[in-house]
Amino acid sequence: MSDPLIKRALVSVSDKTGIVDFCRNLNAMGVEIFSTGGTLKTLLDSGISAASISTITGFPEIMDGRVKTLHPKIHGGLLAVRENTDHVKEAQENGISFIDLVVVNLYPFEATVAKPGVSFEDAIENID
């Protein structure tokens, strides 16, 4: 099989419906998967080859998982313009690898705040 266009993926989902099958297909294509907390656990428990996002950042998930992908090695890997030689050079100088695919969905904020009696704390926890 030829090299896939997608070589590295960041996968972090709140609703994990279908994520195992999707990532199994990514694995079959040779895509390197990086993931966070609960998503990583789901993937690993299902036999999917994946690594912690901390492998890229060199930093643990902190503040109850609120801070995990907010890091220059993630943002740089996503935002670098690969056709821009300066971006490529800066990425190389800073140990930043490109991320080709992002798979995310947001916390169910709207459904949470629509619940009768929802607390402010629950609402805040569902802001992504």
- Note the pLDDT of residue 1: 45
Domain over 8-125 is classified CATH 3.40.50.300: no
User: Alpha-carbon torsion 48, 53, 55, 61, what sign?
Assistant: negative
Lateral strand order in the sheet of 8-12: 51-52, 32-35, 8-12, 101-104
Q: What is the mean pLDDT of residues 27-45?
A: 95
Given pLDDT bands bounded at 50, 70 and 90, which one contains residue 114? confident
Measure the CA–CA gap between 71 and 123, rounded to whole angstroms: 25
